[in-house]
Amino acid sequence: MQIPLFPLPNVVLFPGVYLPLHIFEPRYRAMVVDALDGDRLIGMVLLRPGYEDDYEGRPPVFDIGCAGVITHHERLPDGCFNIVLQGTERFRIEDEDHSRPYRIGHVERLAESMDPHPVEVQSVRQRLESLVTVLVEKNRGELSIPSSMTDLDVIHALAQYLDLAPLEKQALLEMDSLVSRASALADLLEMNAMGKVGSRQ
């Protein structure tokens, strides 16, 4: 599978979650045009620390990213784009194609491991929801998680939207099962002393 790569220093995309982006660099405008003419897929990847010295080139990225499909797009008068991606699936980069101004990855799809104990997943979800409720109240905010949301959607939405460090989010993305991802996310919230992490409203 080939997919255009969009490396950023502070954004990690999770399956099922929506991500608004403003595209302004010429190489990534070309990427969006090509994606819209094709399957509308873009692969979000996180830049490794130290990328600054070679940002205009092809600095190292983490091998595991998440593909997203363009669900909405707006081309602005100056040629820039506002787009919305919806995460679809994780992937691992095996190689890169350098024939275009932007990066193209030859990637392997990574299937989500199905957790054999749904009760365990629900238990971790309840733990997460309790932690988030405390955090939101501490920051005088409001957050309601619909009971109709699936465990996967809740866990991935919290992983993306909570104010965690990009490297912490990357570590969550790389985990192979939903229950391990959810447990690690709950541990992160507790380790951040319940005060350093706030919900992005």
Give the model confidence (pLDDT) of 16-38 as tens digits: 999 999 999 999 999 999 999 99
76's CB contacts (< 8 A; 6+ apart) are 82
- pTM for the model: 0.86
Average the pLDDT over each of 56-65, 81-90, 101-110, 188-197 and give the range with the smallest value.
Answer: 188-197
d(CA 15, CA 160): 10
In this predicted structure, what is the pLDDT of residue 200? 42
CATH class (in words) of the domain with range 118-191: mainly alpha
**Which sequence spans correspond to the domains of the chain?**
2-110, 118-191
**Mean pLDDT value across residues 60-88:** 97
Judge residue 7's burial from the number of C-beta atoms within 10 Å of its C-beta, 0-12 exposed, 13-18 middle, 19 or more buried: buried
Q: Say yes or no: domain 2-110 is CATH 3.40.50.300.
A: no
